[in-house]
Structure 1
């Protein structure tokens, strides 16, 4: 009986030690984790190999490193890549035919706007030199396309309505300054003019019909016109060649000030309603959406032509004496005929007589008017 009890006690102790070792293994694995340097709890084990010779087959022996689940396995060696074949028949990744086919396949990664074709049924092989040239050309075209897109988005070359200008026009409609914008009625080198129906501004009624003069925000048309503004003492401190948008705003502001002077002298001209950056809102010279004709296009009798000529001379005198301005671009293109009299428009380039080129511009205006009279316009 004593022997049987001793054996039973030993068996129970052995089972208890095995459970302790299993717990110890789990703790060791948890403690080491994925660390490259591991710490062994071997000295704390209860059951040693020579004591565990009768362990069951489905239990893993701690010293059997071939099946040790806690031993880091050696990385599996993978066959070397980059070549195929053996001996003299080895083909490396630098093979001309292999490279050529790979380069052809890599053309599918080019930008969608680059048309490379499909090459179905064709064994195309591009050399590295040709592929690199095509790749560089693709990148250059992408950058050029991005620059063109950005330039188009930030310019007003197309009908002077870029996204920013369109937003300003929408804000005027939303604010009630304009009821609606009806469309373009005139296109020039420096600006585009739109017809609109007036609303109200600061609880004051806006003329029933107005025009929006939108100055183009590119300086391509202003390359030779810097001298009209950079030497004008009113704007000389604010003029900057380095900021095209600010220069264009100065043009719009300059026309607004010149029109205000002319209106005070009761010279027939558009009345300023609102200035918003490079958009100038003015009263409409015409009726029922039909703009007044330019003096060049007006069908005038001989009497009306004489009347128009004398009116133009009188207006030039008023501009010089009362407004202290020289039109600087006076011609049959910048004079309207409406209600039996002439109206002056486009005065953004007008300068004061004290301008360094003021007398030169005045002489040119006089010569233009004289030439038009001689031609019978």
Structure 2
């Protein structure tokens, strides 16, 4: 039998009875789900017991066996304490960041503990349950105040109230286009006046219409390498019909058109050249506003020009180049051969070899003899074009002449007109000026000046001491020629032949 003094001493031990040494266990037993479930059940049973929970809350944290039997509960308590310390530091950072600014930024989304669960905050810290500045709190501004009488009829609030209308206008901003970033407005009593709201609304509608027009213009134009959906469809139809085997890619880009290289197929049992080009005229009208003079005064297209809308005029450009090339081909002038015309796409033979286009006269480097031979070729081509084809190139320069197989080839004749055009002789004078300037810079010795070259090509004998007098005589001839053409056009002109009356000769 034990001594009573020893029993009292044993009961007063603060750490309780010494624990028996724990038997070692394997890692598999520790990590097993069964052991985890067992620990979880023990923690739940501990928390369900009101006496144990009260004892755990009142007694100091000691390393007693009854308090530390559940490792899960201990980990949860430590995690909770860590989260509270993190939120305390977060509050300090928020106060430091905002300072005295009228617009504050909340770090609420970064809290570890929900504000309504954190009930152990100290008095010297911010109480997270204080909703005076909480945007979701009870003091959130009401969007629309109550209407009617307040204060025994002294104050009246109607739907026309300035504050009420301002809040309604702010709420209506949510119906604007998604591109308009309006924010949520939480925590701020925003009021937009009718003037500001109407101005913003009109601006949004204007931007929507502008965006729609830009999208429509992009879909129906050929600004991006002339391949809008309709143009692509025409190209695919040519490939499917066997006219072309395939379309390889873009080889040239200009102000009014884009040129693609393609492999030829067959056209109604007629062979198509092995290498072809597709000249696609751009359907955007910006490039043609200053080029109407080349077609609206051309008697071959004058009547049709006035009856067509601007977009169909682009097709007329392709048709005009086709007719001009046909005339030149009949006269034996080196130029591309027309294969087929589909709306604003003109298919022609390829000037070059093995997918490599012939260089422009501006780019090729020729010797003295070859350059002199090229000059005389150009002189003969201009005379042949004017006298046999009854055409003026109107844009002849080193950029529209190719060098291939030792010959000069003429391209880009969509703007070419007849000499009877109201400005035909002016265009011819400009072509002569470009040709003389280029070959003089190239070092050709026997280059004629622009006046002699003009007379040699046109067969006229205009004499003048300076350019101004020369152009004045040209304009006088053009006016006489225009009156003569208007008088005899129905008798002497046909669309197919394209013939014209001879130019009046100068009596001097």
The 5 A counterparts of 1:1-377 are 83=147, 86-88=150-152, 91-240=157-306, 243-376=309-442
CA offsets 1:288-333 (integer angstroms, 9 cap, x no match): 2111111111121222211111111111111112211111111000
CA offsets 1:339-368 (integer angstroms, 9 cap, x no match): 111110000111122222222222221111
Change (3 A) 1:173 1:120: farther
Counterparts of 1:259 and 1:289 in 2: how far apart (Å)?
A: 22
Regions of 4+ moved over 6 Å:
none
| Partner residue in 1 for 2:9 | none
Counterparts of 1:325 and 1:97 in 2: how far apart (Å)?
A: 76
Q: How many equivalent pairs are there?
A: 297
CA offsets 1:266-293 (integer angstroms, 9 cap, x no match): 2111110110111101111111211111
Specify the SS of the correspondent of 2:302.
coil
| Partner residue in 2 for 1:78 | none
Counterparts of 2:249 and 2:413 in 1: how far apart (Å)?
A: 23
Retained in 2: the 8 A contact 1:352–1:358? yes
Change (3 A) 1:122 1:196: farther
Q: Which runs of 5+ in 1 are unaligned?
A: 1-80
Specify the SS of the correspondent of 2:212.
helix
Change (3 A) 1:117 1:293: farther
Specify the SS of the correspondent of 2:183.
coil
Counterparts of 2:183 and 2:403 in 1: how far apart (Å)?
A: 61
User: Deviation of residue 84 (structure 1)?
Assistant: 6.3
Counterparts of 2:302 and 2:234 in 1: how far apart (Å)?
A: 27
Specify the SS of the correspondent of 2:207.
helix
Change (3 A) 1:340 1:306: same
- Please report the RMSD computed on the Cα atoms of aligned residues, expressed in angstroms: 2.0
Counterparts of 2:246 and 2:240 in 1: how far apart (Å)?
A: 9
Retained in 2: the 8 A contact 1:173–1:180? yes
Q: Which runs of 5+ in 2 are unaligned?
A: 1-144, 444-508
Retained in 2: the 8 A contact 1:213–1:279? yes
Change (3 A) 1:118 1:292: farther
Specify the SS of the correspondent of 2:263.
strand
Specify the SS of the correspondent of 2:273.
coil
Counterparts of 1:222 and 1:169 in 2: how far apart (Å)?
A: 23
Specify the SS of the correspondent of 1:237.
helix
Counterparts of 1:95 and 1:222 in 2: how far apart (Å)?
A: 57
Specify the SS of the correspondent of 1:296.
coil
Retained in 2: the 8 A contact 1:214–1:279? yes
Counterparts of 2:307 and 2:181 in 1: how far apart (Å)?
A: 41
Counterparts of 2:441 and 2:184 in 1: how far apart (Å)?
A: 66
Change (3 A) 1:161 1:82: farther
Change (3 A) 1:266 1:113: same
Change (3 A) 1:209 1:82: farther
User: Deviation of residue 90 (structure 1)?
Assistant: 6.0
Specify the SS of the correspondent of 1:298.
coil
